[in-house]
Amino acid sequence: MKGAVAKTLQQYTALTDARTLKKLAVALGSSCSGNKSDIRLGLERQIPVLKSISDIRNSKNAVNITAIDMGTSNFAYCTFQWKKDSDIPVLINWNKIKLSDLHKDMKPPVYSRTLPNSPEFTGKLVNLLVKHLTQENSDAFFIERQRARTMGSSAIAEPILKINILEHMLYAGLLNKLAIRNVTEGSKYIVKSSYPRTMVDYWCSLVPITKGSEEKFGSVASDDSDVLEHEEVKGKTRGLSFSKKLRIALVRSLIYDQVYVPEGPQFHKLALSDDIRAKFENYSGNREKLNLCKALEIIDNEERRLDDTKTKSIRYKAGSIKNKNDDLSDALLHGLAWVDWTKNYQDIVNFINVASKESPNALKEFKIFTGFIKYRQKCFSESCITVDI
Euclidean distance between CA atoms 120 and 114, whole angstroms: 15
CA gap 294, 54 in Å, rounded: 34
State the pLDDT at residue 157.
73
DSSP 24-42: HHHHHT----S-HHHHHHH
Q: What is the pLDDT along the chain (389 residues), one digit of tens a residue?
A: 567 888 889 889 999 999 999 999 999 999 998 999 999 999 999 999 999 999 999 999 999 999 999 887 889 999 999 999 999 999 999 999 888 777 666 655 556 666 677 788 888 889 989 999 998 889 999 999 987 655 555 556 777 888 888 999 999 999 999 887 666 555 789 999 999 999 999 999 999 875 444 444 444 544 333 333 223 344 333 467 788 999 999 999 999 999 999 888 899 899 999 999 999 999 999 998 999 999 999 864 333 333 333 333 333 344 444 457 999 999 999 999 999 999 999 999 999 988 766 677 889 999 999 999 999 999 999 999 998 87
Total-model pTM: 0.85
pLDDT of residue 1: 56
The Cα–Cα gap between 319 and 303 comes to: 7
Round to whole Å and give the CA distance between 52 and 47. Answer: 9
Write the pLDDT tens digit of every residue in 189-208. 999 999 999 999 999 999 98
Backbone angles phi, psi at 171, to 5 degrees: -55, -50
Taking CA atoms, 252 is separated from 78, 132, 262, in Å, by 15, 27, 16
pLDDT at residue number 331: 97
Query: How far is the C-alpha of 267 from the C-alpha of 330, rounded, in Å?
Result: 19
Rounded to whole angstroms, how far apart are CA atoms 20 and 8? 16
Domains along the chain with CATH numbers: 1-210+238-300+324-382 (3.30.420.10)
Interatomic CA distance for residues 20 and 12, integer angstroms = 10
CA angle 52, 53, 54 (to 5 degrees): 90
- CB-based burial label for 286 (10 Å; 0-12, 13-18, 19+): exposed
